[in-house]
Amino acid sequence: MRELTYVARNRVEWREVPDPRLGSDAEAIVAPVAATSCDVDTAILAGHGFREPPFALGHECVARVVETGDAVTSVRPGDLVVVPWSINCGTCGPCSRGLTAHCDAVPHMAMYGAPIGGSWGGLFSDLVRVPWADAMLVPLPGDLDPVAMAAASDNWSLSWRLVAPHLKARPGARVLVVARGSIGLYVCDIARALGAGEVLYVDPHAGHRAIAREFGATTAETLEPVRHGFDIAVEATGRVDQLALAVTSLAPEGICESAGNHFRPGGLPLLDMYLTGVTLRIARDNVRGHIPDALALARSGRVDPRRVVSHVLEWERLPEALPEKHLKPVFVRTGV
């Protein structure tokens, strides 16, 4: 089989590797049918590597189950499933508390698409082994489009978690989204659907702002801090100055969720945060637990994740098209 492999900055290629095999009766083999890229892939391609190449890429996809072990009961061959980005057993202490990105059964940070917690392959591969299939795989409801939900492995479900629980606790909250792409746009759509009183989306990209306006957000190319302006802020830029903008725009006891990968150091206005009373969370997402809720919202018809998909491209085009700067490309395989 083939595995899309990162070999150098802005360069990926197909490489032949052995077909994955079931390692236990709790595992499954799946074939991605709609896979997409996210900010981690973009960062790797830009040279922010976690390890020297080569290594497999990709950690967001809807896949078709090809083979299951005898102990697997939740899915069967032929099913379409969401494959979470992180590897988790579902039963260890952290997993039992919902901390699936910190599973004790695997090395720290074990994930698809980046070899920083062992080598698990990537979801831009013809076939993928899924350990603990019953714990990890989530069946895709038949009325959902695999292309629209290719990001449910990470970005779509992460975006749900960034804003949905906070809006449930604070109905009508004012939401600031400081972003550079798909996560922020998903958040705009979800926040509007769940009753945010105001959504302001800040992004220098005119095309992204146009999509945000379609989701009912007001937009700005840049923004100066708005004192006590927002109850919830979401930052997804990877830039510390933009995180500082988000936290200094919060109302007293406001909440800031940072989904950015901050590869460069920087300073935050800690005294101002202290005086205002700010809750800041920066974390990899424990996505497995929110996938069902995020899928349920997608099924409700109140949101349109398909609108964020910028390009639908053939699977064979991955090596040439992935390094291109697209908002949210989805690579689709036919005949699987």
Mean pLDDT of 20-28: 97
Mean pLDDT, the chain, rounded, equals 95
Per-residue pLDDT for 43 more than 90? no
Which amino acid is residue 295, in one-letter code?
L
Indicate the CATH number of 155-282 among 3.30.70.890, 3.30.420.280, 3.40.50.2300, 3.40.50.720.
3.40.50.720
Domains 2-154+286-332 and 155-282 in one fold: no
Question: In the chain, where are the structural domains located?
Answer: 2-154+286-332, 155-282
Label residue 50 by pLDDT band (50, 70, 90): low
- Decide which of 41 and 67 is more confident: 67
Mean pLDDT of 141-157: 97
**How confident is the model at residue 185, as a pLDDT?**
98
Label residue 49 by pLDDT band (50, 70, 90): low
Q: What is the pairing mode between strands 174-179 and 61-68?
A: unpaired
List the CATH code of the domain at 2-154+286-332. 3.90.180.10
Label residue 51 by pLDDT band (50, 70, 90): confident
Per-residue pLDDT for 111 more than 90? yes
Label residue 41 by pLDDT band (50, 70, 90): confident
